[in-house]
A = this chain, B = another copy of it.
Amino acid sequence: MTQEPRYRRIAEELRKAIIEHAYGPGGRLPSEGTLAEQYAVSRGTIRQALMLLRHDGLVTSRRGTRRVVLDDAPVQDFAQMQSFARWARSIGEVPGGLVIRQGWYPADAEEQRSLRIGDDARVLRVLRLRRLSGRPAMLERTSYPEAVGAIVEPLRTDTVSVTEFLERGGVYVADAEHTIDLVRADAEDAEHLECEVADPLLRERRRTTDPAGVPLEWSEDRYLPGSIAFVVHNSLASTPLTRQHMMPGAGSDFGSGSGSGSGSGSES
C-alpha cells in the first residue's frame, strides 16, 4: 500500500472544499499559518499543497494578501486527461472502446523518433474507436513499444480502459506531451467516425513517458468536432502551453486530403 504524501491529501481536501464552494468564488482561503494549524503540519507542507491548486488555476497567489478562489475551476486530475474512459465517466457519459485492428509492425521513422527506439524494433499498432454513450467520438491510432505492447496485446477488443489495465500491470505514466491541431478525415476516419472524407477533425498527437523518461505510448487521436474542446491553464508559475510553427506539409496532413501520415493500421 503506497501512502499518498500529506501535501497531496491536503490539496485534495482543499480542492474538494473549493469545488463545493466552501470559500467562494471570489472568497479567500485561510492563511497558510491557519491551515498549518488546522492540519497540524508545517507551513511548508501547506505551501506544497497550495502550489498544486495554483498550477491548476484554482486559486491566485500573490504576496501580501490571502489566496483568492477563482471560479470556472477546472475539475480534473492527471488520470482523467490520461484516460478517455475515466474522462467520459467523469462527465456522465458511458465510455465505449473497440479495437478495430491490431498487430505488430516494424517501427517506422516517426515511431522510432517518438518512442526513442532503434530501427530494428517493432511496435504494437492498435486502431481503436472510442464512443461516448454510443456515438462515435474519436478514432485512436496508438503505437506501443515492445514491452508495453506485450501487456496490451492480450486485452479483449472491447476493453474500455487500457490505461487502468496498464496501471495494474505496473506501468505508470508520469509525463505526457500533447500536440493539438487540425486535419481532414481520410477514408478510414470517415468510415469509423461516420463522417465524410475531408471533413475537418481535431487532432491530438500524444506521447506519454514513465518516470524515467522512457516513452510508453505514441498516439494520434482524431476527434469529431462539436462536442469536445481542450482547456489549458498556464501562468507565470508554470508554462505548459506553447505554440508550434509547422513548415507547410511537414507533420501536418492538412490539405493533403488522403492522409499520408504517421498512421498505424494502413497495412492489410
Tell me which of A33-41, A76-84, A145-153, A157-165 binds B: A76-84
Cα–Cα, bound, A55→B176 (Å): 11
Closest-CB distance, A152 to chain B (whole angstroms): 21
Closest-CB distance, A58 to chain B (whole angstroms): 11
Closest-CB distance, A135 to chain B (whole angstroms): 10
- Tell whether, in the assembled complex, residue A238 and residue B55 are in contact, meaning their CB atoms are under 8 Å apart: yes
Tell me which of A100-108, A121-129, A223-231, A259-267 binds B: A223-231
Q: A37-69 vs B: 1/0 string, CB under 8 Å?
A: 000000000000000100111001110010010
What residue in chain B is nearest A116 (Cβ atoms)? Answer: B71
**Apart from A60-B175, A78-B239, what 17 extra A-B contacts exist at CB < 8 Å?**
A55-B240, A56-B240, A57-B177, A60-B174, A60-B212, A74-B242, A91-B245, A174-B235, A175-B233, A178-B241, A200-B200, A225-B252, A226-B254, A226-B255, A228-B243, A229-B243, A240-B240
Please list the residues of chain A having a beta carbon within 8 angstroms of any beta carbon in chain B. 52, 55-57, 60-62, 65, 68, 70-72, 74, 76-78, 80-81, 87, 91, 93, 116, 132, 173-182, 184, 200-202, 209, 211-213, 225-236, 238-246, 248, 251-252, 254-255
Contact partners of A248 in chain B: CB under 8 A: 226-227
What residue in chain B is nearest A198 (Cβ atoms)? Answer: B200
Contact partners of A201 in chain B: CB under 8 A: 182
Contact partners of A93 in chain B: CB under 8 A: 245
- Tell whether, in the assembled complex, residue A225 and residue B56 are in contact, meaning their CB atoms are under 8 Å apart: no
Closest-CB distance, A121 to chain B (whole angstroms): 17
> Would you list 29 pairs from A and B whose C-beta atoms are within 8 A, ordered by A residue?
A55-B55, A55-B238, A57-B175, A57-B177, A60-B174, A60-B175, A60-B213, A70-B213, A71-B116, A77-B239, A78-B234, A78-B236, A81-B239, A175-B234, A176-B234, A176-B235, A180-B180, A181-B230, A182-B182, A182-B226, A184-B200, A226-B252, A226-B254, A228-B246, A229-B243, A229-B244, A229-B251, A230-B241, A231-B241
Contact partners of A241 in chain B: CB under 8 A: 81, 178, 230-232, 240
- Tell whether, in the assembled complex, residue B227 and residue A245 are in contact, meaning their CB atoms are under 8 Å apart: yes
What residue in chain B is nearest A74 (Cβ atoms)? Answer: B242
Contact partners of A70 in chain B: CB under 8 A: 175, 209, 213
What residue in chain B is nearest A87 (Cβ atoms)? Answer: B243
Contact partners of A244 in chain B: CB under 8 A: 228-231
Given contacts A182-B225, A226-B254, A246-B227, contact A232 B68 (CB under 8 A): no
